[in-house]
Structure 1
Amino acid sequence: MSLRTFSLTTIILTLISFNVSANNIWDLVGVYQTNTFANGTIYVHDWNIVSENLQTGDFSGNGFYVPDPSVTWNITGTVNGNSFSDLIKYNNSTYWAKEIVAINSDGSFQGTFTDSNGTIGTFNSVSGHANLVSSVPEAGEWAMMLLGLPFLGWVIRRKQLSTSLIKTQ
């Protein structure tokens, strides 16, 4: 094995060893129902995420407390990979809740919250699912593509040269 072949093999194996997992882009626009668990009680809420910027992950929407639809709120937040964080502010009230949420592979989600009263609780979606839009390549994947394409070009060119030499002999 020549030094040139060894170096090229080393570069390829190094690139393959990069973590090639992707950051998912989730589209949250839609209607959800959640069960919230706090102080031994289950509270049911309807969410309506009405807009999301898929480039930044910022989203907004509104919702209401199911037993009393006159209790409404607005939500703003940001999706980051397989999770999002948000702030819910109730209308006509000083009450708010901050949430940290994990998105499951099926688009359902669950998380924890703290509110303006100091309550800490959990919640999960019981209907509605986020949609996986696409996966964004990470730096390692871009490096493999950028180094791999010239390598493929070199291999093709070398094969063309060797084929043309055989034909001329």
Structure 2
Amino acid sequence: MKQTNTQIHKPITAIIAVFFIFCIVGLFTPAAALAAPAKSGQTVGYVNRQQVFASYPGIQEVMKQIQNLRAEAQKDYDARAKDLPDAERKALNDTIARGEAQKEDALMKPVGDKIEAAIQAVAEEKRLPVVIDAASVVYGGIDITADVIAKVKQ
């Protein structure tokens, strides 16, 4: 039984989804800081990380490299798995998926690091002790998304 492209990418898709959840929806301060009462003049900033990510210079090239990695992994799997028993095919799939995920993480880490640094820099400039993801905001706060995008593009 030959695995389809979708089958080999299920574990990879799950790993990528977890990575993006941490990158895009993550909080940048401890929960205790969010629960602490605001001191006079202090407020909470928020940023739309998805918008910052989409605006990241060169992100299309990074995503193209990731697609190429996935295609190469699929070719590798197809070539090596055709005559293997099911258990060995699964082990090969897992090995290839882990290797691909590590390569994707290596490509995405500089993007995440630069976005994180830009958020921190803007928060410090605006003297915001707390920055959360825009998806968590119900009311109030200061939107720093445009400032973060500008900082990332520098």
Bin the TM-score by the shorter chain: 0.3 to 0.5
TM-score normalised to structure 2 length: 0.32
Q: Which has the higher contact order (CA 8 A, sep 6+)?
A: 2
| Bigger share in helix | 2
Could you say which structure has the larger radius of gyration?
1
What is the TM-score of this pair, normalised by structure 1? 0.30
